[in-house]
Amino acid sequence: MSATENTSATKKQIHLAAHFPGVNNTTVWADPRSRSQIDFSSFEHLARTAERGKFDFFFLAEGLRLREHKGRIHDLDVVGRPESITLLSALAAVTDWLGLAATVNATFNEPYETARRFASLDHLSGGRAAWNVVTSPDAFTGENFRRGGFLDRGDRYTRAAEFVATARELWDSWGPDGVPRPFAHHGQHFSIEGKFGVPPSPQGHPVVIQAGDSGEGREFAAAAADVIFTRHGTLEAGRAFYADVKGRLAQYGREPDDLKIMPGVTFVLGDTAAEAQEKAAEIRHQQVSPQNAILALEQIWGRDLSAYDPDGPLPAVDPDPDSALVQGRVKITNALEIAAKWRALSEAKGLSIRQTVIETTGRQSFIGTPETVAAELDAFVQGGAADGFILVPHLTPGGLDDFVDQVVPRLQERGAFRTEYSGSTLRSHLGLRTPVWKG
């Protein structure tokens, strides 16, 4: 890495995305400023704010089955959301530049229809579509779908990889003469043929995002994705991840710049560092209600702990490693280890259940004044830990307002972020090449 000072002309540019607040306890719904999670006006507000801030894209997550806890629908966090491609097609009408990323599951969809829907979104948005490819963990979600059942972990990724490859074949299947050519794909998971119904879209291929940090996920991203949506860690952890993933690209004939690494991050701003810390503590307190504290504990312990006092000590009983208490979430595999850590912390600091949960979960990624947050974000990118960030606000729909008004101008002053969009497509915002046509 160069030690010389970057000038604004050559400085590595930060990419920013806005995540609509999701169905987990990062989203604070009890705050008086919190508005609807389903009215179009909320999505419009957040998307327009992101576009005002010259963000690269807007991001929607997906859920195909409501979460359950102790055999009942989980009721403590936001529940319910729109279907993402339909919602983004509507947002295309009220934005002009912003990329529009929809999460669509590769387990419970089929390549022809998914490729057609994303090509349609790309046409309808003038080249701003992105597809966040995810796979589904379990038969629990499958109960809502024709295919039902279960794919084991390995199959999930081979299906996803073949799914994306097949979609790319369809996107490439029209000839340069504007006439669809017959395609035929016969693989392990899909055997399809015919003619694709949508002419090449403005981006050729919509941007492909892969979310997840596992080994299979990294490999899949290195082979096939344009963006990887990862978890945020420390600067050191970020650097290690960044180096690892970028290092995997060469074997697929790709350059390091062909895959953008964007951790999902949260932020809290204040006029002073102390005020920001105070606000951060207050938000964590809102995020971890007494009921949510018990629930967080039950997710680790896999036991009914409803009799415990959230303001009292942690349970003496050990977690049940084979529990089926929690459904629709990523499975926790090292429960005993986490429980031991939490107990140690609680004993050392004299923390109650709720205080322990607040202390151990959901600490915001960037807390400070607009100036220091801008400097830290910039340091992450210049220091080789990220290419940009997917910001996860905690309030719907105003959670991005302060960031756009206060942090974006400082990133721009640092020469690290665009002051105007220079192209019209999401590929252009992200500095991604036009895909080579393989028709």
Residues of this chain that interact with other proteins (CB under 8 A) are 29-30, 38-40, 44, 63-66, 72-73, 75-83, 85-87, 89-94, 108-110, 112-113, 116-117, 119-121, 123-125, 143-146, 148, 180, 190-195, 197-199, 289-292
Cβ–Cβ under 8 Å, residues 97 and 421: yes
Specify the residue, 30 or 316, whose C-beta has the smaller distance to other proteins: 30
What angle separates helix 153-171 from helix 215-224, to the nearest 10 degrees? 10
Q: What is the DSSP string of 213-256?
A: -SHHHHHHHHHH-SEEEEE---HHHHHHHHHHHHHTSGGGT--G
Angle between helices 235-247 and 370-382 (to 10 degrees): 30
Task: Tell me whether residue 160 or residue 374 sits nearer to other proteins (CB atom).
Answer: 160
How far is C-alpha 307 from the chain's CA centre? 35
CB-nearer residue toward other proteins: 185 or 218: 185
Phi and psi angles of residue 185, each rounded to the nearest 5 degrees, phi first: -125, 120
Distance between CA 44 and CA 129 in Å, rounded? 17
Q: Between residues 44 and 278, which has the closer beta carbon with respect to other proteins? A: 44
Q: How far is the CB of 311 from other proteins (least distance, A)?
A: 14
Q: What is the dihedral of CA 290, 294, 295, 297, to 10 degrees?
A: 140
Q: What are phi and psi of 99, to 5 degrees?
A: -65, 155
3-state secondary structure of 125: coil
Q: Which is nearer to other proteins, 86 or 434 (CB)?
A: 86
Contact present, 68 and 328 (Cβ < 8 Å)? yes
C-alpha to C-alpha distance for 337 and 341, rounded to whole angstroms:
6
Q: How many CB atoms lie within 10 A of CB 148?
A: 11
DSSP states of 291-317 as a string? HHHHHHHHHHH-S--TTS-TTSPPPSS
Identity of the residue, 176 or 253, whose beta carbon is nearer to other proteins in the bound complex: 176
* Tokens linked to 50: 């992101």
Residue closer to other proteins, measured from CB, 143 or 271: 143
Q: CB-wise, 126 or 384, nearer to other proteins?
A: 126
Query: 110 vs 359, which CB is nearer to other proteins?
Result: 110
Single-letter amino acid, residue 172: D
Residue whose CB is less far from other proteins, 72 or 438: 72
Helix (H) or strand (E) holding 327: strand 326-327
| Distance separating alpha carbons of residues 96 and 176, to the nearest angstrom | 27
H or E element, residue 372 = helix 370-382
Length of the chain equals 439
